Amino acid sequence: MSNKTRIGFLGLGQMGAPMAERLLAEDVELHVFDPRPEAMAGFVARGAVAHASPKSVADAAGIVFACLPTGKVSEAVALGPEGVASGSAVRIHAEMSTIGPATIGRIAEGLAARGIACVDSPISGGPAGARAGTLAMMPAGAPAAVATLRPWLERIGQRIFLMGERPGQGQTMKLVNNLIFAGNTVVALEAYAFGAKAGLDPATMVEMVQAGTGRSFVGDGLMPKVLSGSFDFGAAMSILDKDVMLGIEEAKAQGVPMWTLEQAARVWRFAASQGMAGEDLSRLATLLEGWGGAPIRAPK
């Protein structure tokens, strides 16, 4: 009889894969699913078990994590014909995707009807944070389910912020975080484009701002990718565009004005609609450079 904990992971993309890798351990039997066989191959080589569907994973594992690109995909994976809800072993489903309170609410309700607890578990820190194990985690759900999940969340990330007992509260926190990041990015790039056009050295500008009152994650997390021209932050423009739209919609539903963030949202929407949706979100800088007429680059 194995003493290993059976854990499932659904979605092995830029965020999911490095998080799932942190669960590969002697005391874990990891079960994985991704529609791309090549994404599962590396995990199988390291001892994980590949499956043909989310249901198959949920038939084998008591805890199932999901990190997926859209709410529509998350809902289908959780509640569809071959979804987690039909699994015979799963008792806790941890949804790490950014899908908004309404979608996680439907997922939680559907899973509860099958006796499965849903923990709303979004994360923040980007692909680099996922690889380094420094993610911030924001779970919301029944206290017993969150307590069971906590040791595994601690392996995936660095800090855990308990957001409440209702699925949806974690999603709201994630949208607050991503709205701030999205707004800061647009504001920073506009200001750096202005400084570059006026003849300031972009690298010196970023260094100075990070030492002053304008500092933010944009300066040390995003701007190095812009200054170097590598544009490899690791997340697609479409992902943040989706998150910003979700956040604006949820704020409107709460009756909270988003006048400034609506302007930033228009920039992300414009970029995504002009053929940049699949590009790394750091490439937004090239759009602002074009408007400003000066490159935001470190000297070669």
Provide the token pair at 164: 């409440």
By annotation, the residues acting in catalysis are 174
Contacts of 14 (CB under 8 A, 6+ apart): 127, 130, 234, 235
Q: How would you classify the pairing of strands 49-50 and 28-33?
A: parallel
Q: Report whether 216 contacts 184 (CB < 8 A).
A: yes
- Using CA atoms, how far apart are residues 46 and 26, in angstroms rounded to an integer? 11
* Gap between the Cα atoms of 158 and 161, Å rounded: 10
- 19's CB contacts (< 8 A; 6+ apart) are 9, 65, 67, 96, 123, 130, 135, 156
User: Cα angle vertex 157, ends 152, 160, to 5°?
Assistant: 85
Burial bucket for residue 105 (CB in 10 Å: 0-12, 13-18, 19+): middle
